[in-house]
């Protein structure tokens, strides 16, 4: 268990370090790039992002949505707003709000920590392409799903309804 926890902590730190274009130590705090960076603005990420796969998972599968509420510079702020694994819903209150980062090439990274430090969270590293985040690394708890799967894992922006 401790080995898995250490892995997610390292991945989580590396996730934000990669998204900020470095390994830290350059005036950034918690892996978030400062607003004076020439990187892409995180404003493009605000909204709801639903997990999808290619090829699609058979239902009930894994269903997840993150909501990015706001952005400032290259940092964005969000929360887990829907989480089902199979036919079991996850307790959304068990997860902390998160801070993520986007770099000038559209690299996106965020880690959603569990309130209980003994429980492992969720980490995503990917590339923003239009309204899709293509996950190159997707970690849920002790499992790195992108390494153990023949699927592509994506987060698709939910289309906004116009009234």
Query: Using one digit for the tens of pLDDT, what is the confidence trace for 58-101?
Result: 877 789 999 999 999 999 999 999 998 877 778 899 999 999 99
- pTM > 0.75: no
For residues 33-43, b (16+ Cβ closer than 10 Å) or e, as one string?
beeebebbebe
Say how far apart CA 55 and CA 116 lie, in whole Å: 33
DSSP 29: B
Token digits of residue 133: 């985040």
The distance between the two most distant Cα atoms of the chain, rounded to a whole number of Å, is: 50
Q: Helix and strand tally (H, E) in the chain? A: 1, 10
Residue 110 — very low, low, confident or very high, per pLDDT cuts 50/70/90?
A: very high
Pick the closest to residue 145 from 3, 1, 6, 8 (CA basis): 8
């Amino acid at each position: 268990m401790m080995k898995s926890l250490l892995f997610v902590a390292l991945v989580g730190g590396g996730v934000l370090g990669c998204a900020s274009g470095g390994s830290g130590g350059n005036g950034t705090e918690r892996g978030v790039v400062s607003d004076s960076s020439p990187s892409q603005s995180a404003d493009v990420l605000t909204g709801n992002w639903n997990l999808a796969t290619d090829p699609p998972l058979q239902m009930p599968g894994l269903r997840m949505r993150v909501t990015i509420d706001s952005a400032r510079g290259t940092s964005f702020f969000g929360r887990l707003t829907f989480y089902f694994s199979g036919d079991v819903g996850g307790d959304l209150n068990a997860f902390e709000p998160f801070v993520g980062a986007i770099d000038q090439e559209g690299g996106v990274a965020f880690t959603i920590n569990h309130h209980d430090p003994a429980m492992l969270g969720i980490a995503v590293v990917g590339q923003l392409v239009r309204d899709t985040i293509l996950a190159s690394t997707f970690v849920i708890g002790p499992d790195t799903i992108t390494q153990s799967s023949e699927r592509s894992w994506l987060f698709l922006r939910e289309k906004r309804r116009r009234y």
